[in-house]
Amino acid sequence: MQDFWDLVETVWTNGVFGLKVNELVIALLILVFFILLKNIFARVVVGWISRFTASTETTVDDAILEALEGPIRFIPAVIGFFFATAYLTLDENMQNFISLFNRSLVAFALFWGLYQLSDLVGHLLQRAEHVLSRSMIDWLSKAVKLAFVVLGFATLLEIWGIQVAPLLAGLGLFGVAVALGAQDLFKNLIAGVFILGERRFHPGDWILVPGIVEGTVEHIGFRTTTVRQFDKAPVYLPNSKLSDNATVNFSRMTFRRIKWVVGLEYNSTSEQLKAVKKRIEAYIFSNKDFVQPEDTATFVHIDSFSASSIDILMYAFTKTTNWLEWLKVKEALLLEIKTIVEEEGASFAFPSQSLYIEAMASDIDVAPIKAKG
């Protein structure tokens, strides 16, 4: 037993890795104490700050407090590790290592807080939505977050003596190789920047890219834009397709056009043609659903002699740009034109051909037409 007790005393005195066991135990107790204190510390500090922010009229300070709640809870653990390691008797090498580790914890907590605060960039930029689009605000918020992640990672590398500049230079050749293989990625990224900068469309807009897609824009990403077709199927379209092709944005229409050619039969009199034309014109000019001639080009004219009809060209715009409402206005106009033509005693023409026989040889027998019994 004496030998065993001597062994225990030796381990207790010499410790593990040159650290005395009693110092390790006390250091662990210090660390555990600060970790247990974390929730109390956060509750007290956050509670005090929240009472202060509640007395202010602005909501920015409330958003800041909510964003920093996680890093604030992490502070006691950082302090506890610092005091626990400060209590230990360490050699020079271990002391340097622990010092670097403590600095890394502080840097991590700092950049974690900045990363959380970057969410407020989007919140603040929303006030400039009349200058910046919603998609551009989202991009800037993501860019700020990425910047803090990169800066934090670079800071940690610098703390541990890893020079970032030579590392980036060494990655230069690799970056060139990646760039050559990712030309489409960068092309789509640049195209996305142009789309946002030119404000061609925003999420929620109804767009048409002829021959490619038609639907509602849901999201403008770094590489692709999501367009929801009217059958509810999503289309993930590379930004270069939208940048290089003509895009029609129906959501920005000021008016919606109706252009028809109303064909009447050739046996219609000139009085009938004039009456039909004037009544259609009067209906459009007096209807509040249509844009009036002083605001845009609106007219009804007897236009041309076609192959099988005399054509009346009607050109008008509806005030509504909503597709369903536009269909209702167009339906009412169609029924009104049908009524006008019938009341004026005219008829709609349809494609037809007439065959005129001027002479027939006398030796040709014409087959009699047999009536159906």
> Looking at the domain assignment, is residue 131 inside a domain?
no
Rounded Cα–Cα distance for residues 278 and 93 (Å): 100
Domain shared by 111 and 6, yes or no: yes
Reading the block at residue 117, the tokens are 């605060």
Domain boundary among the residues 90, 117, 144 is at 117
Residue 70 has pLDDT above 90, yes or no: no
Contact 81, 137 (CB under 8 A): no
Domain stops at, among 213, 234, 252: 252
pLDDT score at 123: 65
What is the band of 192 on the pLDDT scale with cuts at 50, 70, 90?
Answer: confident
Same domain, 197 and 276: no
Q: How does pLDDT run across 206-227, given as a tens digit for each residue?
A: 888 888 888 999 988 878 889 9
Kind of pairing, strands 310-318 and 256-264? antiparallel
CB neighbourhood size of 309 (10 A):
20
Identify the helix (H) or strand (E) that includes residue 238: strand 234-238
> Could you tell me if 191 and 268 lie in one domain?
no
In a domain, 24, yes or no: yes
User: Could you report the per-residue pLDDT of 299-337, keeping only the tens digit for each?
Assistant: 999 999 998 899 999 999 999 988 889 999 999 999 999
Backbone torsion region of residue 156, taken as left when φ is above 0, otherwise alpha when ψ lies between -120 and 50, otherwise beta: alpha
**Vertex 97, ends 92 and 102: CA angle to 5°?**
125
Q: What is the pLDDT of residue 273?
A: 94
Whether 225 and 309 share a structural domain: no
The pLDDT value given to residue 173? 47
Domain that holds residue 330: 256-343
pLDDT at residue 289 in the model:
92
- 236 sits in the region (left: phi over 0; alpha: psi -120 to 50; else beta) called beta
Q: Are 301 and 262 within 8 A, CB to CB?
A: no
Q: How far is CA 311 from CA 110, 216, 274, 308, 354, in A?
A: 76, 37, 12, 9, 19
- As a whole number of angstroms, the distance between CA 44 and CA 314 comes to 75
What strands lie across the sheet with 213-220, from one edge to the other? Answer: 234-238, 224-229, 213-220, 206-209, 248-249
Instruction: Examine the domain organization and report whether 229 and 265 are in the same domain.
Output: no
- Whether residue 125 lies inside any domain: the answer is no
Give the CATH number, domain containing residue 227: 2.30.30.60
Indicate whether 278 belongs to any domain. yes
Residues 44 and 107 in one domain: yes
Coil/strand/helix, residue 204:
coil
The answer to whether residue 365 sits within a structural domain is no
pLDDT of 99 reads 87
- Of 68, 102, 117, the domain-final residue: 117
* Whether residue 61 sits in one domain with residue 36: yes
Give residue 23's pLDDT: 74
User: Per-residue confidence at 156, pLDDT binned at 50, 70, 90?
Assistant: confident
- In total, the chain counts a number of residues equal to 373
Contact 264, 306 (CB under 8 A): no
Q: Which residues pair with 313 in a beta bridge?
A: 261, 301
Number of folded domains in the chain? 3
Q: What is the mean pLDDT of the chain?
A: 79
One domain for residues 72 and 110: yes
Evaluate whether residue 351 is within a structural domain.
no
Q: How confident is the model at residue 284 (pLDDT cuts 50, 70, 90)?
A: very high
Q: φ and ψ at 87, to 5 degrees?
A: -75, -25
Residue 155 included in any domain? no
CA distance 188 to 241: 8
Same domain assignment for residues 236 and 260: no
The Cα–Cα gap between 169 and 127 comes to: 40
Residues 271 and 319 in one domain: yes
Q: What's the pLDDT at 275?
A: 95
Q: Mean pLDDT, to the nearest integer, of 159-180?
A: 60
Query: According to the model, what pLDDT value does residue 249 have?
Result: 86
Q: Which amino acid is at 150?
A: V
Do 97 and 12 reside in the same domain of the chain? Answer: yes
Q: Which helix (H) or strand (E) holds 150?
A: helix 134-159
Asked if residue 269 and residue 298 are part of one domain, the reply reads yes
pLDDT band at 228 (very low <50, low <70, confident <90, very high): very high
Rg, C-alpha atoms of the chain: 40
User: Which backbone phi and psi does 122 adopt, to 5 degrees?
Assistant: -60, -40
Band of pLDDT at residue 339, cut at 50, 70 and 90? very high
The answer to whether residue 17 sits within a structural domain is yes
Q: How far is CA 193 from the centre of its chain?
A: 12
Which residue in 26, 17, 14 sits closest to 83, CA to CA?
A: 26
* CATH classification of the domain holding 317: 3.30.70.100
Tens of pLDDT, residue by residue over 6-63, are 666 666 666 555 666 667 778 888 888 887 777 777 677 777 777 776 777 666 666 7
